[in-house]
Copies of this chain bind each other. A is one copy, B any other.
Amino acid sequence: MNTLNVPLGTRSYQIHIGSGALTQPELFSVHLQKGAVCIITDDRVGPLYLAKLEQALAAFEPRSVAVPNGERHKNWRTLDMVFRFLLKNGFGRDATLVALGGGVIGDLTGFGAACYQRGIAYLQVPTTLLAQVDAAIGGKTAINHVYGKNMIGAFHQPRAVVVDPGTLVTLEPRELSSGLAEVIKYGLIADEDLFLWLEGHVQELLDRDLPALNHAINRCCEIKAAVVAEDEQEQGRRALLNLGHTFGHAIERALGYGEWLHGEAVAAGIAMAAEVSVRMDWLKPAEYRRICRLVERAGLPNRPPAAVTPGQFLEYMQRDKKVRQGRQRLVLPKGIGQAVVSDDFDADALADTLTHKPL
Contacts and interface: CB of A to CB of B under 8 A. Distances in A.
**Chief secondary structure at chain A's binding surface:** mixed
Contacts of A150: 118
Contacts of A111: 115
B148 A87 contact: yes
Contacts of A76: 76, 80
Nearest to A115: B152
B114 A145 contact: no
A140 to B, nearest CB: 7
B92 A321 contact: yes
Nearest to A118: B153
A90 B141 CA distance: 21
A323 interface: yes
B90 A151 contact: no
Contact of A117 (B114, B117, B321): B321
Among A34, A117, A233, the one with the most B-chain Cβ atoms within 10 Å of its Cβ is: A117
Contacts of A153: 115, 117-118
Nearest to A92: B323
Contacts of A312: none
A140 B111 CA distance: 17
B114 A325 contact: no
Nearest to A139: B118
A154 B118 contact: yes
A215 to B, nearest CB: 31
B140 A118 contact: yes
A93 B321 CA distance: 6
A35 B325 contact: yes
Contacts of A324: 35, 92-94
Interface of A: 34-35, 76, 80, 83-84, 87-88, 90, 92-94, 111, 114-119, 140-142, 145, 147-148, 150-155, 233, 318-319, 321-326
